Amino acid sequence: MIGVAIVGLGSRGRHVIRMLERQSQLQLVCGVDVDPDRGANTAARIPVTDRLDVVLANPAVQAVILATPHSLHEEQVTRAARAGKHVFCEKPLGMSRESALRSVNACSTAKVVLGVGHERRFEPPVLELRRMIARADLGTLLQVEANFSHDEMVGSDKQSWWRSPSEAPAAGMTGPGIHLLDLCVSILGEADRVVAHSETLATEMPAGDAMAALLRFKSGATAYISTILATPFVSRFQVFGSRGWVEIRDGKRDEPHQGWAMTTCLAGGHPEVREYPAADAALMNLKAFANAVEGLVPYPIQHSDMVNSVAAMEAIFVSAAGGGTVVAV
């Protein structure tokens, strides 16, 4: 088994610990948190320290999983890579293109695997969509329309870093928004130009509660992405091509997850709906990371995509803050 350390024992870190209990490749060895007492509040009885260097010096630790504030990712990824540890980093990898590029380069230089929490790529209907695109079933890709919104943060702790304008600018862009953006990059490639707007309309969230962005990709295709933090849950991702379209609707992400509905309409035909049962895409992502660490198969998310997703996100931040169109490269 691969010995791992979890860095960050907040809500996401605790969720990762629960996922680790449902697989057999990654063995949780220890943890890191600014408050070591948090270790007592997790189901896993592991030693917890507030010093990352202690964990990186531990020979039993072969990989680290980062569930920490976004601004810390670059430093923690590069330190882990230099210590020879494989790294799985929750999204986003960084807050700027240059930051993400430094993290990628550090892992490449150290020859360690870098995984990122873009778990939506592993959802069964998304995998089917990518197979359809690879077969050219949809023809020339023209446009994506996507929305991922919820009201789960309304009334949440005002001191949480998840609400901070510095850690999570442009409303839900670093949360649900980056998932949609990464899916766009995975099928449309590198973004070219971005215009975005973020507003606080219905809550007291200083980083905003409604964000909309229009992106043009180097291929000429476009994407509209929106995310709202003050409305009941909805998640849809729709791809339009010259020979058909596909829409993926996500069931509410409670536990257990409610699965997906995928509607396909090809030229000359009628819309057809296929239901997909619930599946833990985040766990699939961790297993893909473990397989790459073991040398079984390469990690399926390319470094270039990791950087391109962050570059487009950074352009959204800049446009939302100052208005106007921003070059995304």
**E strand or H helix that includes residue 293:** helix 281-293
Mean pLDDT of 94-102: 97
Predicted structure pTM score: 0.94
Cis peptide before 92 (omega within 30 of 0): yes
Tens digit of each residue's pLDDT (9 = 90 or more) over 259-282: 999 999 999 999 999 999 999 999
Contacts 24+ apart (CB under 8 A), 298-304: 299/113, 299/114, 299/115, 300/121, 301/115, 301/116, 301/118, 301/121, 303/104, 303/107, 303/108, 303/114
Closest to 258 in 3D by CA, of 246, 275, 237: 275
328 pLDDT band (50/70/90 cuts)?
A: confident
Q: How many CA atoms lie within 13 A of 165 on its CB side?
A: 11
Domains detected in the chain: 2-118 (3.40.50.720), 120-327 (3.30.360.10)
The pLDDT confidence band at residue 254, using thresholds 50, 70 and 90, is low
327 pLDDT band, cuts 50/70/90, is confident
Q: What pLDDT does residue 304 have?
A: 97
170: left (phi over 0), alpha (psi -120 to 50) or beta: left
DSSP string, 131-181: HHHHTTTT-SEEEEEEEEE--TTTT--TT-GGG-TTTS-STTIIIIIHHHH
More confident residue, 39 or 243: 243
Residue type, 301: I
Q: What is the pLDDT of residues 192-239, one digit of tens each?
A: 999 999 999 999 888 899 999 999 999 999 999 999 999 999 999 999
Say what the pLDDT of residue 316 is: 96
